[in-house]
Structure 1
Amino acid sequence: MVEARCCRLRFANTSACMNAPAASIAPPDDASILSPRYRATTLGMVALVALVAFEALAVAAAMPTVAQALDGLRLYALAFGGALATSVIGMSVAGRLCDQRGPARPLWFGLGFFLAGLVVAGLAPRMGVLVAGRLLQGVGIGAVSVSLYVLVARTFPEALRPKVFAAFSAGWVVPSLVGPAISGLIVQYVGWRWVFLAVPVLAVPAALLLMPALRASAQDPRTDVAARPVVRWAIGTALAALLLYLGGQQQGTVAVALMAAALVLLVVCARHLLPAGTLRLGRGLPSVIAMRGIAASAFFAAEAFLPLLLQRERDLSPLWAGAALSMGALGWFSGSWMQGHQRHGWTRAHLLQAGAWMMCGGLLLTSLTLQQGVPLLLALAGWSLTGLGMGLIYPSLSVLTLSMSAPHEQGANSSALQLSEGVGVATTLALSGSLFAAFIDGRETLGYLLCFAVTLLLALLATVVARRI
């Protein structure tokens, strides 16, 4: 009986989301995400998102210098993807705790890991220790992100959620525009360690703004949720992703054997953490979850190698290479604002398809950066177009996930959405990092080309999955 009622609810939400325009339900005139009722919650959430965004973009801009300073170029991809791998653990634990008790406990749990990871990375004497700090950060970021999604579902009416997610994208704008440039200045004139150590002092005050909403979202414990054995599968998934990176650093048959074993373990573990049908691109919610991983993999894998390419192959300074990343973030914000305010009657399916094709065109233009004769402005315009596509896709998938989820499934499905992203991006970075490492001795151009080819193929796959939402 309960199962049937949940199925009807999920179908009703799915149908409404599929057939109604993306912004067809307007909130009442006196309702706003900045009204007195929601202001503190909105500002606290956006502040946390902005801090995580600053850290992500600052690390992307600073990592070439960090890798050189700590003699850890071969661990370059792991410094990015390792955090994404361990975020699976934070997401899975937070999803279970959110459905069991509400988002307060997992949010504080995640914030603690995030801050601890920043301190470890900032004080790291060698690259291996810095990677360990990034692994801790990943656990924290995964828990915080799921907790914020559930807090949105528990606090805001459905009509306001597109604007909340647009505000999240706005939380990326200022850090995206000035964060990489500031990071470049810090690296050049203060030292790369302060890219990590400057963030913790701002994170706790932002989280304190959320306390009233967190108290209001608390619930009585659900023993049926607590019994789900998700943690062991999350740990297995994270270990499999890390094993991919380890295999990528080997050579010959050892590398092939390790990576093959890691991929098998990854599929076995991840299928227990994702909705049924996700790995085979089932229609509806499974394709929503799958598309998040596919689109994010294409974008973030390209973003990881773009500043390295610009500094090593086009001789840009850390400051200007970091500023180049801001173009994609500005495009992302523009797309996110459009999906939250458009009045042309586009459904979420239309927005997803348009965004996927924009990513294809943008990545193709961005890859032209490999040619010395190509003006950088043309390639950076391509990166802006890639960001615009992600801006249409990313919040649309978030809105669809919450709309398709019964209240007691919001934590698990929000966790699955972001878990798909974490697993997908970590796997893509591991594979592309292995390809790049194989050509690091004098044939870097071919390595870059293969990495961009992987991201373009993923963007093309996203155009197919978008038709199955």
Structure 2
Amino acid sequence: MSVPDATGELEASIWDRRRRWVTLGAVALIFLAAIEALAVTTVMPVVSAALDGESLYAVAFAGTLATSVIGMVASGAASDARGPRSALYVSVALFLVGLIVSGAAVTMHQFLIGRLIQGLGAGGQTVALYVVVARLYPAHLHGRVFAAFAAAWVVPSMIGPFLAGAIADYLDWRWAFLGVAVLTAGAFAMVALRLRGVDLGGGETLQRGVVAVRLILSVVVAAAAVAVGFSADAVPAVGWPIAAAAVVVIGFAIRPLVPRGTLRAVRGLPSVVLMRGMVAGAFFAAEAYIPYLLMERFDFTATLAGIALTFAAFAWAGASALQGRYGERLGNGRIAAISLGLILVALFSVLATAVLGLSPLIVVIGWAFGGGGMGLVYPRLTVLTLAYSDAGNQGFNSSALSISDSGGSAVVIALAGLGVATLGGGADAFWFVFVFAIALVLLSAIPGFRLGHAAERS
């Protein structure tokens, strides 16, 4: 449903007087969520040292990704039933509470509680904003809004790591959370004030049993992923059995949330969804430890460590543009092969530096290859998901892709953290993360060459 415009919907703009504040506020919310997500990667080595929480380093990433799955499912169901307004309000409130708890934490466990709450809010906020766009803007403006959202992610990926590092070095790491909280409150006010009294739909008949089951399963997946992360705080003889049991639980619980045959890498959509989770897990697990490696092994400041991620962000953006222009010509199999090759180059360069003590410039340059690989494959998998979908399953398939992305990343990061803890922690144990990521990328070639073909449109 859209808001009537006096000039006519065909002449409407995302910046017209009826929508400009919603557009500006929504883009700002996406921008700030992206800034925060990228900032954590840079400041976490500082946070874990300040709060004496090195053994729980990985949970700070995995826990947020895990609880975002719950937020996505809950927000989607609430938006369908009552409209996206209440879902957005609750999600932003949870995101703000999480930021404040993390920024004010005096122990690592308090910090992690904040991160778990942030995940609930971040996942729900994104879904609610998408529904707001669908119901407030006419269809011919949707592409422009989502292009603005994409730009709101690209810009933080280029400046976020460096900015967060500078905040940690010259102010205090807490402002990477509290500062975002203040700005998020302002951005939300722009959206909330304009949405008052606007009919955003809702009241649709839902299969409550189906929604309840999906919500319960999402909670199980999130809880099991967090359990894997916290297993790093136990002795290895206890931690690994806990992690193994949790992974088995995730395997059973996630099956109804993704297309049938996903865990068996069935050709077509199931392989698309599976590959997304595998490459996301490998890349983001390794990236979480790159600033840590540079700061522990090579005495980089947080600001300089953030630069390594910035080069990768530029490569990601450039490769995404190339995929959009030449993706059809390259084809799915070739894109999978090129992207996995680039990610492997990045991982081997980081591994060699960690093991052999090579120049840290190799990490900075090498990781840019990984960003390029992700820039090629990430949007291609999204395009393929939509191409394999129809009006009756677009929501389920899009949700499955996001769940695979977040859930896969959460589990891989948690297992990587457990491996590092088992080896005694510290920079000398980081090689495990990169070896684990390499193995996962090699395995992702199985679904990568089973992506199939559909009527893709980049």
| TM-score for both structures, normalised by structure 1 | 0.83
d(CA) in 1 for partners of 2:197, 2:48: 39
Q: Does 1:459 align with 2:441?
A: yes
Look up the SS of the partner of 2:358 in the other structure. coil
Partner of 2:205: 222
Change (3 A) 1:432 1:119: same
Cα distance, 1:376 vs structure 2: 2.6
Change (3 A) 1:200 1:458: same
Q: Does 1:201 align with 2:182?
A: yes
d(CA) in 2 for partners of 1:59, 1:416: 25
Cα distance, 1:261 vs structure 2: 1.7
d(CA) in 1 for partners of 2:353, 2:148: 31
d(CA) in 1 for partners of 2:443, 2:198: 42
Change (3 A) 1:357 1:79: same
Look up the SS of the partner of 1:191 in the other structure. coil
Change (3 A) 1:302 1:72: same
d(CA) in 1 for partners of 2:260, 2:141: 28
Comparing 77-86 with 201-210, greater Cα deviation is found at: 201-210
| TM-score for both structures, normalised by structure 2 | 0.85
Partner of 2:394: 410
Partner of 1:243: 227
2:283 pairs with one of 278, 299, 303: 299
Change (3 A) 1:441 1:288: closer
d(CA) in 1 for partners of 2:147, 2:442: 25
Look up the SS of the partner of 2:256 in the other structure. coil
Change (3 A) 1:404 1:217: farther
Q: Does 1:387 align with 2:371?
A: yes
Change (3 A) 1:148 1:343: same
Partner of 2:163: 182
Kindly indicate whether structure 1 or structure 2 has the higher relative contact order, using CA contacts under 8 Å at least 6 residues apart: 1
d(CA) in 2 for partners of 1:232, 1:454: 30
Partner of 1:255: 239
Partner of 1:50: 31
Change (3 A) 1:412 1:35: same
2:313 pairs with one of 329, 338, 341: 329
Aligned partners of 2:327 and 2:335 also within 8 Å: no
1:318 pairs with one of 285, 302, 311: 302
d(CA) in 1 for partners of 2:364, 2:387: 35
1:86 pairs with one of 49, 67, 73: 67
Look up the SS of the partner of 1:198 in the other structure. helix
Aligned partners of 2:236 and 2:422 also within 8 Å: no
Aligned partners of 2:71 and 2:122 also within 8 Å: yes
Change (3 A) 1:408 1:391: same
Change (3 A) 1:367 1:172: farther
Could you list the per-position Cα deviations for residues 208-254 of structure 1 after superposition, in whole angstroms to 9, with x for gaps in the alignment? 45966996763441222664321111111111111112323222432
d(CA) in 1 for partners of 2:141, 2:324: 10
Name stretches of at least 5 consecutive residues in structure 2 with no aligned partner.
1-9, 452-458
Aligned partners of 1:98 and 1:411 also within 8 Å: no
Change (3 A) 1:40 1:417: farther
Change (3 A) 1:347 1:39: farther
2:384 pairs with one of 400, 403, 407: 400
Partner of 1:139: 120
Change (3 A) 1:35 1:185: closer
Name stretches of at least 5 consecutive residues in structure 1 with no aligned partner.
1-29
Cα distance, 1:325 vs structure 2: 1.4
Number of aligned residues: 437
Aligned partners of 1:149 and 1:414 also within 8 Å: no
Change (3 A) 1:332 1:216: farther
Change (3 A) 1:375 1:278: same
Look up the SS of the partner of 1:271 in the other structure. helix
Q: Does 1:128 align with 2:109?
A: yes
2:324 pairs with one of 322, 340, 347: 340
Could you list the per-position Cα deviations for residues 427-462 of structure 1 after superposition, in whole angstroms to 9, with x for gaps in the alignment? 1111110110112267x42x2111101111222233
Q: Which amino acid aligns with 1:462?
A: S
Aligned partners of 2:133 and 2:142 also within 8 Å: no
